[in-house]
Amino acid sequence: MADPFVEIGNNDSLERFITQSNGAPVVIFKHSDTCGISARAYSEMSQLTRPVGLITVQAARAVSAEIEGRFNVAHESPQVLIFRDGKVVWSASHGQIKAAAVEAALLDSSDHSEQ
């Protein structure tokens, strides 16, 4: 299985990753490289077949802070966020991060258009 991760190291790459979707949902995974729970979550996220924006919080604290401030999402690590049309439509953290749950949330966010 191919590595789905696309490193997001600065706010410009965050913006590109979110906007390149053309209305489709995108996945961002905030990861700590020193946490056992985050390592398990990384393993789960590596099972996805679509691109996953990877923010390693130790190396990209400014990006994590940008997400927290811009999208009004409390910082957690590990944390998965699904964005659609520039908004967070789903999130999970710690033990909630399962590949199947992310896939289901992606399907759900793809199937529902805004009224």
Residue 114 in domain: no
* Domain harbouring 41, CATH code: 3.40.30.10
Q: To the nearest 10°, the Cα dihedral for 73, 78, 17, 50?
A: -130
Q: State the residue range of the domain holding 10.
A: 5-109
Please state the pTM of the whole predicted model: 0.90
* pLDDT at residue 1 tops 60: no
115: its two tokens: 């009224």
Task: Give me the mean pLDDT over the 85-106 stretch.
Answer: 95
What local confidence, expressed as pLDDT, does residue 114 receive?
41
- Quick one: three-class SS letters along 93-110? EHHHCCHHHHHHHHHHHH
Residue 79 in domain: yes
Residue 24 in domain: yes
Residue 115 in domain: no
Count of domains forming the chain? 1
